[in-house]
Amino acid sequence: MVVSYKSSLNQLKDLSDLYELAIEENNTNVQNEVLENIKNLRKLAKKNEISCFLSNETDSFDCYIEIHAGAGGTESQDWADMLRRMYLKWSDNKNFKSTLISEHKGDEAGIKSSTIKIEGDYVFGWLKKESGIHRLVRISPFDSGARRHTSFASIWVYPVVDENINIEIQDKDLRIDTYRSSGAGGQHVNTTDSAVRITHLPSKIVVQCQNERSQHKNKETCMNMLRARLYDFEIKKKEKESENTESSKSEIGWGHQIRSYILQPYRLVKDNRSNFESSNPDKILDGEIDEFLEQSLYQT
């Protein structure tokens, strides 16, 4: 990083000298070329700046994203589904790999909860600040009176831990339940209890998986997720952040939101921590959230 910084300073000095010479000779072609090189240099500096904020031990890891609908029935369940789509679109835009781990569909529309896994360069580092309550204000498509509704959903992001990291889990601390998968699965769906839910009794952490037809594979995925959750819990405890993080999960509603997405009576997405705003919520909900992610990295 230091080498890149020094290299950028040298390039900037060279470009400055070249620009002054081009002005003296009234050479507009060289002036334009220098300005274009300066733009590229700014992009490189921005990339290096962001890299400095992605230097924690777990930032380079893949991640799991848990999404839970708040109170409010169909409205919040539809909002949870919209958020899941936003992160999946972001993943696609980055050419990352995404996998649906589990899903509990809503009664009429949307989802009650879902877990997805995203694999790619520095995924956890980019998304780690997305944990918290996300608030939506819009004219409800489910309200025959076309009234404005406020909905909440919670996002919980944690890293996929490396196999070399030792997390001790004792069998006596686990409660393992199996149930029938509710997702797509062709003619064999709901015929076997292949879905797995594991509860870690001391921490009360619950993980579940239903994306594989094999109960064994679902259990293996659950154990990997549990290791990741326990590792994340310990890291946050060491950073003295666990108390604030858990309180942000405790109530999916007013006073806890980290970001608001307002579609009515005006159109605005605002992050309550950085105060960064966008007047194009459609673009944000289509996965173009990089500016919000960058701003969140600057927040300590």
Q: pLDDT class for 244, splitting at 50, 70, 90?
A: low
Max mean pLDDT range (6-20, 111-125, 219-233):
111-125
pLDDT value at 143 more than 50: yes
What pLDDT digit, counting tens, does each position of 34-76 carry?
788 887 777 776 666 677 788 888 899 999 999 999 987 899 9
* Beta strands at 257-262 and 132-139: parallel, antiparallel or unpaired: parallel
| Strand ranges (E), 78-189 | 97-105, 111-119, 132-139, 148-159, 174-179
pLDDT score at 65: 97
The overall average pLDDT reported for the chain is: 84
Instruction: In whole angstroms, give the CA distance from residue 268 to residue 284.
Output: 10
pLDDT score at 189: 42
Q: pLDDT class for 186, splitting at 50, 70, 90?
A: very low
User: Strand, helix or coil at 101?
Assistant: strand
Conformation bin of residue 257: beta by default, left when phi > 0, alpha when psi is -120 to 50: beta
User: Strand, helix or coil at 240?
Assistant: coil
